[in-house]
Amino acid sequence: MANRIEHNADQNRFEIYVDGALAGYAEYIESNGVRDFGHTVTDPDFRGRGLAGQVVKAALDTSREQGFKIVPSCSYVAKYVESHPDYADLVA
């Protein structure tokens, strides 16, 4: 089964599922057209599979599509943006 990524707007986070199980998420606080990504989590049972990168990429792509800027407060999101300069324009 493929990984599935969902935007859970009620919880202010993007979630990644593996075989139906929640494997990780990227949380944000939204205000005035900006999403401040403060925390990225991968369940220990699912680490080492590149899931954090997948969920952060989806979160950034969706934020761009919806017209949001981002603040990479989470160190993982900050490193992701730094290593993928095509997302630099999203930083508020």
DSSP 49-62: SSHHHHHHHHHHHH
> What is the pLDDT confidence band of residue 1, given thresholds at 50, 70 and 90?
low
For the segment 20-75, what is each residue's pLDDT rounded down to a tens digit? 999 999 999 999 999 999 999 999 999 999 999 999 999 999 999 999 999 999 99
DSSP 19-85: TTEEEEEEEEEEETTEEEEEEEEE-GGGTTSSHHHHHHHHHHHHHHHTT-EEE--SHHHHHHHHH-G
Q: Which CATH number characterizes residue 20's domain?
A: 3.40.630.30
> What is the pLDDT confidence band of residue 2, given thresholds at 50, 70 and 90?
confident
pTM confidence score:
0.95
Provide the residue range defining the domain that includes 50.
Answer: 4-90
The tally of domains found in the chain comes to: 1
